[in-house]
Amino acid sequence: MPYGKLHVIVFGAKGLPSVEMISKNDPFCKVTLMGSNQVFQTPTVSNAGANVQWEHSESMQVIEGQNELLVEVWDKNSFAKDELISVGRHWITPACNKPGPYDAWCSLKDTKGRPGGELRLILHFQSSGPAAPQASVLPPGAKYAPPVWAGGGAPAARPQQQQQQQQ
């Protein structure tokens, strides 16, 4: 896994189970980069119910070994503890291997392990790792590249140049 910055857009969710007795869910989404202490959450959408749209974006720094997002959808409660609606995990490797944005749906499970809806994520990875070493370009027939301090040129051509200079 390369080093870099992962831009995460938590676009929305659909098919969330209801955890409210009387009203609709007031969901927010919490995203954690596994293997790190990086966490963010979306704003709460009041009375959204089973389908919600956040369109919330954040960036996370990714290093070796951090290759999975933990996503949790919670119901915001004013007078009691917030309640977990659904949870899922999503690998970020496909986003790291694809140029441009990677649009994906993450399957969620409720607290009893039953289907708990789907969460749409849009991920875009920007590598900040070292660039791949460039292959040196050698003239045809050359077996090695001359050192930079030697002034460059093809090894086979150098003896001919020296002979011409001596004459």
159: exposed, middle or buried (Cβ count in 10 Å: 0-12, 13-18, 19+) = exposed
Is the pLDDT score of 119 beyond 70?
A: yes
The DSSP call for residue 96 is: H
Distance CA 7, CA 124 (A): 5
Q: Which pLDDT belongs to residue 155?
A: 46
Residue-wise pLDDT for 69-84, tens only, equals 999 999 998 888 999 9
87 forms bridges with which residues in the sheet?
72, 109
Structure tokens at 102: 């990677």
Q: What pTM was computed for the model?
A: 0.74
Q: Which pLDDT belongs to residue 134?
A: 42
Is the pLDDT score of 148 beyond 70?
A: no
Tell me the pLDDT band of 33, cut-offs 50, 70 and 90.
Answer: very high
Is the pLDDT score of 166 beyond 60?
A: no
Taking all residues of the chain, what is their mean pLDDT, rounded to a whole number?
Answer: 83
